[in-house]
């Protein structure tokens, strides 16, 4: 894994490759949208790892730090960000919030995205609704990400 400080610096460098007039890749008309990594289902990762004979190598608490780094770089460069980490967390834990620009709004959530009692008693805490194996988005997770990206593009 890329250390957090190096990850942050790499994101900054990528932006500067496109925004710095002295860069060989300067592209002032290119529009940039950052996307955070999705939340991680810790129990799902542990289950998949256990069934496949390896140790889990991801934690949601660590992934949040990387999601926060993406948002920090986006703010620094005044760029839009699609926060799929917070969107999944809000949906899984039923705490959808419109208080932060980094969070999705209720208009971005279809009725079928609201957590159900069934999801809250799941052994995987509801993450299975959006994640295939605790790490990668499944169909519903990709549909959610698509909605969030379209919503961000429509703001522009």
Q: Mind listing the pLDDT tens digit for each residue in 86-119?
A: 999 999 998 754 333 444 433 344 444 444 444 4
pLDDT at residue 122, rounded to an integer: 79
Predicted TM-score (pTM) of the model is 0.82
Mean local confidence (pLDDT), 143-152: 97
pLDDT at residue 146, rounded to an integer: 98
As a three-state string, the secondary structure of the chain is CCCHHHHHHHHHHHHHHHHCCCCCCCCCCCCCCEECCCCCCHHHHHHHHHHHCCCCCCCHHHHHHHHHHHHHHHHHCCCCEECHHHHHHHHHHCCCCCCCCCCCCHHHCCHHHCCCHHHHCCCCCCHHHCECCCCCECHHHHHHHHHHHHHHHHHC
pLDDT at residue 112, rounded to an integer: 43
Q: Mind listing the pLDDT tens digit for each residue in 25-70?
A: 999 999 999 999 999 999 999 999 999 999 999 999 999 999 999 9
pLDDT at residue 106, rounded to an integer: 35
Classify residue 44 as left (phi > 0), alpha (psi -120 to 50) or beta.
Answer: alpha
């Amino acid at each position: 894994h890329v250390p957090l400080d190096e990850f942050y610096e790499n994101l900054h460098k990528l932006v500067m490759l496109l925004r710095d007039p002295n860069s060989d890749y300067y592209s002032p008309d290119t529009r940039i949208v950052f996307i955070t990594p999705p939340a991680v289902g810790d129990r799902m990762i542990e289950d998949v790892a256990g069934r496949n004979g390896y140790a889990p190598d991801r934690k949601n608490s660590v992934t949040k730090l990387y999601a926060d780094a993406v948002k920090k770089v986006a703010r620094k460069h005044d760029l839009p960000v699609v926060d799929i980490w917070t969107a999944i967390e809000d949906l899984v834990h039923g705490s959808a919030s419109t208080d932060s620009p980094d969070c999705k709004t209720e208009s971005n959530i279809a009725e079928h995205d609201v957590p159900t009692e069934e999801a809250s008693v799941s052994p995987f805490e509801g993450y299975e609704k959006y994640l295939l194996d605790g790490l990668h988005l499944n169909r519903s997770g990709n549909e959610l990400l698509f909605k969030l990206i379209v919503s961000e593009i429509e703001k522009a």
